[in-house]
Homo-oligomer: A and B are copies of this chain.
């Protein structure tokens, strides 16, 4: 018993809602914030394992943490620690099972709007 249970990179556990507790209204609300929608767009585009520090958002670190927590607690993203970094990925499987096509259509809509407004 030198160390009771090292657990290494898993000691910091993050609470995720199980699939059956994910609510549509909460997901929509999570996606309705411009900052969070851009995070989700970047996650969808840039593969599925991005660290928090990869995102360069025009807010402080505290606020970034807040937005990632909202996304995680709504069931939109999954977060795991890997060393000092926290890796983020979309819960595509769960969302597609619950709300088929929703994530895709929202991402498509966001892309169209960005193309229309941003150039």
Chain A residues near B (Cβ < 8 Å): 20, 23-26, 28-29, 31-34, 37, 98-102, 105-106, 108-110, 112-113, 116
Complex: how many Å from CA A103 to CA B73? 24
Q: Which 8 A-B pairs have CB atoms at the shortest separation, nearest pair first? A: A99-B109, A29-B32, A28-B32, A105-B105, A101-B105, A102-B105, A24-B113, A28-B28
Determine the main DSSP class of A at the interface with B: helix
CB distance from A35 to the nearest CB of B (A): 10
In chain B, what residue has the closest Cβ to A33? B25
Complex: how many Å from CA A99 to CA B33? 17
Complex: how many Å from CA A34 to CA B27? 12
Q: Which residues of B contact A101 (CB under 8 A)?
A: 101, 105, 108
Is B32 a contact of A110 with CB atoms below 8 Å?
no
Is B23 a contact of A113 with CB atoms below 8 Å?
yes
Q: Which residues of B contact A32 (CB under 8 A)?
A: 25-26, 28-29, 32
Indicate which residue in B20, B29, B102, B110 contacts A109 across the interface (CB closer than 8 Å). Answer: B102
- Provided the pairs A98-B109, A100-B108, A105-B101 are in contact, do residues A25 and B29 lie with their beta carbons within 8 angstroms? no
